[in-house]
Chains A and B, each alone.
Chain A
Amino acid sequence: MSTTPLKLYQVGTFAAGNRLLDPDERTVQSSTQRASSITSGHRACRGCGEALAARVVMDAAMRAAGGRLVTVNATGCLEVFSTPFPESAWQVPWLHSLFGNAAAVASGVAAAMRATGRDDVRVLAQAGDGGTVDIGLGCLSGMFERNDDVLFVCYDNQGYMNTGVQRSGATPAGASTANTRPMGAGIGNAFGTGKSLPRIAMAHEIPYVATATIADLHDLEAKVEAAMALHGARYLHVLVPCPLGWGSDPSDTVRVARLATQSGLFPVFEAEHGTVTRVARIRRRVPVEEYLRLQARFRHLFGEPGRPDVVAALQAQADRDIARFGLDPEEES
């Protein structure tokens, strides 16, 4: 059993948060041995969910890979805020090629490792929702379908944040973005558009698909570890609130992510070979309104006259996913 050097001493004991846990159960982030794959000093906004998620994902993956990890990054906020010339926040080998090709570039890296006998080096690709569900989908589907040995992580902030908050195929209905402004009778982003990439990934029957949020970092780490324990194509979809694009307070980033799961709007689950194997049940169910009201992108749905019909339709969407994935706390007996 490895021990973690402790720096905290309080209430007369060494107890501090998850340091009470067995070392195996502690978060990677609580360890002073963590890789710090992304160092401080990068240029993300205050309260950026994507920066938090990337840090946790990378450190967990580094631990799982024993430090033998290469990462490929699509164009987007993460890439831009972490590498302002002449600086780089990355402590791992990192390659940015283009916006839409991260999955294929990662496939190439994995193939090279295999061909040159360096199978111990693991490959992790990362992209925003735009680089995943829209422009990157073709390459990603190819990577899935060939079952290439790559873990692909999508940081879903539900829009093209890097270019100034335009709609993506992951933007929820009712959201105002730079190209879906609620004008006239409009509601913002239309219903009946967009897609669920986790379910598309599942349709490829790849070994592992999971969703997570930054509201539960322990769960996020556990999923990275579960994914890294497997080989072949794996997909992790992480919901990461963006204060700038969502118009939420930077101090509310984690809260907003939690409300996304507790309202049922963002189902958290794991699937293997196309079948859901585990879901994170809702602990305290909240109406979607509680989630929506914290975000300026939904402001037009409230107040006078507001759009109660749109809020109701979003509630129906949450209810449908709660039923589809069995997220209801009540069902637990």
Chain B
Amino acid sequence: MKLDVRIHGRGGQGVVTAAELLSVAAFEQGLHAQALPSFGSERTGAPVTASCRISDLPIRSHDPISQPDLLVVQDLTLLRDPVVMAGLPEDGTVVVNTNRDLADLVHGGLVVGPAQRWVTIPANDLSRQLLGRPVPNTALVGAVAGMTDLLSPEAVATAIRRRFAGLGEEIAEANVRLAEQARDLVMTTTAGGDVRC
């Protein structure tokens, strides 16, 4: 078993934290994991990438993920960058943070690669409701956990609580709820067959 996740977003959106949360949740569940940020010299708002490897075997390599099983796209505008989709196999999955629906994205020419599975999640909206700010990363972590059925809600919650401990219980708990909501959302919307186009 292995799951290679690559996360694309913009500086300030918590891309690196998202990869770290996934890896900690996987670790909590007795799996092996590795989160690898690919740092640029960029400033707030610039594209940022991070990877997370999850496996039931110890992980030895440290190269960036070039063939992800799952892509998380935290900012819709990034979909126009060919780098984002690079290396995604035919049966790969893309999770996009947007409140537009899939048909709308297809219409806008943002969905490429016919055989891939696409899931949309309004992570910014969810985050605004629960945190008062659009920080999409914990919602997307919850969504990935739900879709892959690899990480339990408890493991995700533990990872979030540990990571946000310094920010106070209120913020940590709001993030836990955020991840759970996103998880529920993808589990209901994607239940009964993959979203394909």
B45 A45 Cβ-Cβ under 8 A: yes
Say whether B61 faces chain A, with CB atoms less than 8 Å apart.
no
B44 A46 Cβ-Cβ under 8 A: yes
B43 A244 Cβ-Cβ under 8 A: yes
Residue of B nearest to A244 (CB): B44
B13 to chain A, nearest CB (A): 14
Interface residues of B in 77-119 (CB under 8 A from A): none
Enumerate chain A residues within 8 angstroms of B42, measured Cβ to Cβ: 43, 84
Residue of B nearest to A162 (CB): B41
Enumerate chain B residues within 8 angstroms of A46, measured Cβ to Cβ: 44-45
Residue of A nearest to B46 (CB): A43
How far apart sit A77 and B43, CA to CA, in the bound complex (Å)? 9
How far apart sit A195 and B42, CA to CA, in the bound complex (Å)? 30
Say whether A80 faces chain B, with CB atoms less than 8 Å apart.
yes
How far apart sit A81 and B42, CA to CA, in the bound complex (Å)? 7
A112 to chain B, nearest CB (A): 30
Say whether A44 faces chain B, with CB atoms less than 8 Å apart.
yes
Q: Size band of the A side of the interface?
A: 10 to 19
Per-residue 0/1 for B9-47: is the Cβ within 8 Å of any A Cβ (1 yes, 0 no)?
A: 000000000000000000000000000000001111110
Enumerate chain A residues within 8 angstroms of B41, measured Cβ to Cβ: 80, 84
How far apart sit A158 and B165, CA to CA, in the bound complex (Å)? 28
Enumerate chain A residues within 8 angstroms of B44, measured Cβ to Cβ: 45-46, 243-244
Residue of B nearest to A161 (CB): B43
Residue of B nearest to A250 (CB): B44
Interface residues of A in 65-90 (CB under 8 A from B): 77, 80-81, 84
How far apart sit A256 and B46, CA to CA, in the bound complex (Å)? 24
Enumerate chain B residues within 8 angstroms of A48, measured Cβ to Cβ: 43
A100 to chain B, nearest CB (A): 19
How far apart sit A46 and B46, CA to CA, in the bound complex (Å)? 11
Residue of A nearest to B44 (CB): A45
Per-residue 0/1 for A30-59: is the Cβ within 8 Å of any B Cβ (1 yes, 0 no)?
A: 000000000000011110100000000000
Enumerate chain B residues within 8 angstroms of A81, measured Cβ to Cβ: 43
Residue of B nearest to A83 (CB): B41
Residue of A nearest to B41 (CB): A80
How far apart sit A46 and B43, CA to CA, in the bound complex (Å)? 9
Residue of A nearest to B166 (CB): A181
How far apart sit A77 and B46, CA to CA, in the bound complex (Å)? 14
Enumerate chain A residues within 8 angstroms of B46, measured Cβ to Cβ: 43
How far apart sit A77 and B42, CA to CA, in the bound complex (Å)? 10
Enumerate chain A residues within 8 angstroms of B43, measured Cβ to Cβ: 43-45, 48, 77, 81, 244
How far apart sit A279 and B45, CA to CA, in the bound complex (Å)? 38
How far apart sit A77 and B44, CA to CA, in the bound complex (Å)? 12
Interface centre among B41, B42, B45, B46 (most CB of A within 10 A): B41
How far apart sit A84 and B44, CA to CA, in the bound complex (Å)? 15
Enumerate chain B residues within 8 angstroms of A80, measured Cβ to Cβ: 41
Enumerate chain B residues within 8 angstroms of A45, measured Cβ to Cβ: 43-45
Residue of A nearest to B42 (CB): A43
Q: A43-B42, A45-B45, A81-B43 are in contact. List 7 more A-B contacts (CB 8 A).
A: A43-B43, A44-B43, A46-B44, A46-B45, A77-B43, A84-B41, A244-B44
Interface, chain B (partner A; CB < 8 A): 41-46
Query: Can you list 18 A-B pairs with a CB-CB distance of less than 8 A?
Result: A43-B42, A43-B43, A43-B46, A44-B43, A45-B43, A45-B44, A45-B45, A46-B44, A46-B45, A48-B43, A77-B43, A80-B41, A81-B43, A84-B41, A84-B42, A243-B44, A244-B43, A244-B44
Q: Which 10 A-B pairs have the closest CB atoms?
A: A45-B44, A45-B43, A80-B41, A43-B43, A81-B43, A244-B44, A44-B43, A43-B46, A43-B42, A46-B45
